[in-house]
Chains A and B, each alone.
Chain A
Amino acid sequence: MVASSAGAQNVLMEIRNVDKAFGGVKAVDDVSMDLRAGIITTLVGPNGAGKTTLFNLITGELSKDSGTIKWLGNPINKIKPFQAARAGILRTFQDLRLFNEMSVEDNILTAVEDNSLPVPLTKSQRTARREKVEYALNRAGLFTKRKIRAKDLAYAERKFLSMARVMATDARLWLLDEPASGLDPNSYEKFLEILREEVKQGVTVCIIEHNLDIVIGISDRIAFLDRGKLLADGEPQSVLNDPELRAIYFGERT
């Protein structure tokens, strides 16, 4: 195992023996894996493999049946989604869940703010917030569209807004649920460039992705899930070249 850069192998998140069943179906079955700092870990696997469920378990959207998850060395087993966000773990949704009636700018602004009480912000807080929002708007190429309501954006722009909401924050770990699906080749080139740039600046990413070109293009590590079980977790080439996994992935199950 060769790290892409020195010191990049610190484990940010430790997932151990995590289980989740829906009725009789084991959606996540005894999964143990690490998310290492400063790299992109890709979750691959057929539909229904438990990839999104794993995200939901990490952020506390769903509660685990058993197992433990540690974040920066501390257990976060009873965490609620808003606490996960404040701890630096952010996620996107496959169906985006933008704040549709709000402007592009307000969508990002809201993502940056995590105060619950109706108290005014200080001037330095406002300035810091403004800078983050502008940074994300520019990165995502949405600056000229900042006053438009989210629901009036085109499809690709909506996907970039979903990314911009995460980019504007100081989160250390991004859990991205199929952020590139349905993008045209130009847009996903741009998307990959953004992602690589952000990782270079220290963000850690765990991404669910189906498109093998993208998977090969960005992954530092690949975790392969099928029917809730983690079948492989390692270097991209070794996982992708495993004939058994290929068979499962391409539906040639035996």
Chain B
Amino acid sequence: MEAYLLNLVILISLYSILGVTLNFIMGYAGIYSLAHAVFFGVGAYAGTFMAMHVNASIFVTLPVAMAAGAILSLILALPALRVRGEYFVAASLGLQVLAVTIFSEWKSVTGGIGGLIGIPPLNIAGFEVFKPSQFIFVTVGALIIILFVINRLVHSSFGRSLRAIRDSESAAAAFGKNVPLIKTISVVISSALTAVAGVLYASYLSFINVESFKLDTSVLIMAMVIIGGTGTQAGPIVGAALLLLLPSLISYLDFLPQTEIGSIQQIIYGLGMALLMIYRPGGIVGRKKQSETGKE
């Protein structure tokens, strides 16, 4: 039971990192990306490659993975952010599809469909972290650091520029904001931080394959952000916890026919999300509907 809970908390904190980093661009800059799992995957593969072939120290794996995520995101952001929002969604979807092919085919780095096994444990200054009871401190610690970094950014003039761009791109530009540059920087920061989750994920499981980095994951992360509350600090974490806990909670309800549990879960997800978006479009943590707060 303890191992089960530890595992759950580790996964929740890893997915929270994914949610928090996606929320940074989605909730503050209004950039909707369907390629978030790609940067998660790039972090995982790049970190693993370094750990297996060069050095397993996080002082090597993390910077390389973050740089890889940042550079790849530039390739997406530079052309796609010069145009309007919808095109970025389409371009990111394209990147997601393309990346899955590369993850499945580039056997020397990704291990192909079969993936990579025997990934070395996380090495922090010579100390190997592999027990879940220790790893939990790493993932929760990483989440806290990333939350802190993003919180600082959001409350700086840079964060205000992002929100201004989200609310009115043309007005932001009319007040001196270099909109494409600011958007590009935000995507690069988000992607580099996402890669951190990839490194931790790979060394925690000691096994990765393309299944973890497909479109489903990108959609799941986006659902976590939306359900928890886009543009809020705690929203993505609440969303990640809820969507990872829900399957286990549902499996505790013994009156449900266990053989159909999968489809029942889908129905509950679908209904829950539809109802939430109707009655609480800001998400669980987000503001209530505008008519309820209204004017004073």
Contacts and interface: CB of A to CB of B under 8 A. Distances in A.
Interface of A: 59, 61, 80-82, 84-86, 90-91, 93, 97-102, 106-107, 109-111, 113-118, 120-121, 148, 151-152, 154, 165, 169
B177 A82 contact: yes
A100 to B, nearest CB: 5
Interface stretch (B119-127, B150-158, B219-227): B150-158
Contacts of B128: none
Interface in B145-199: 153, 156-158, 160-161, 163-164, 166-168, 170-179, 181-182, 185, 189
Contact of A117 (B158, B167, B170, B175): B158
Interface in B238-296: 290, 293-296
Contact of B174 (A90, A101, A115, A116): A90
B175 A165 contact: yes
Contact of A116 (B156, B177, B296): B177
Nearest 9 CB-CB pairs, A to B? Answer: A114-B176, A85-B176, A97-B171, A118-B158, A81-B173, A99-B167, A97-B168, A116-B178, A113-B157
Nearest to A150: B167
27 contacts: A59-B174, A81-B174, A82-B174, A82-B178, A85-B173, A85-B174, A85-B175, A86-B176, A90-B175, A97-B174, A98-B168, A99-B167, A99-B168, A101-B163, A101-B167, A106-B163, A107-B164, A110-B163, A110-B164, A111-B175, A113-B160, A114-B176, A115-B157, A118-B153, A121-B157, A152-B295, A169-B175
A106 B160 contact: yes
Contacts of A165: 175
A111 B182 CA distance: 15
Chain A interface mostly helix, strand, loop or mixed?
A: loop
Contacts of B175: 85, 90, 110-111, 114, 165, 169
Given A97-B168, A100-B167, A154 B295 contact: yes
Given A93-B170, A98-B167, A98-B168, A120 B178 contact: no
Chain B interface mostly helix, strand, loop or mixed?
A: helix
Nearest to B189: A118
B160 A109 contact: yes
A81 B168 contact: no
B171 A93 contact: yes
A111 B293 CA distance: 26
Interface of B: 153, 156-158, 160-161, 163-164, 166-168, 170-179, 181-182, 185, 189, 231, 290, 293-296
A8 to B, nearest CB: 26
Given A82-B179, A101-B166, A118-B153, A113 B161 contact: yes
A82 B176 contact: yes
Contact of A110 (B160, B179, B231): B160
B83 to A, nearest CB: 15
Contacts of B176: 82, 85-86, 113-114
Nearest to B176: A114
Contacts of B164: 99, 102, 107, 110
A107 B177 CA distance: 13
A118 B173 contact: no
Contacts of A110: 157, 160-161, 163-164, 172, 175, 177
Nearest to A151: B290
A147 to B, nearest CB: 11
A102 B168 contact: no
Contacts of A109: 157, 160
Contacts of B168: 97-100
Q: Which has the most chain A C-beta neighbours within 10 Å: B161, B172, B175, B293?
A: B175
Given A82-B174, A152-B293, 11 more contacts: A81-B170, A81-B174, A102-B164, A106-B160, A110-B172, A110-B177, A111-B175, A115-B158, A116-B185, A117-B185, A120-B156
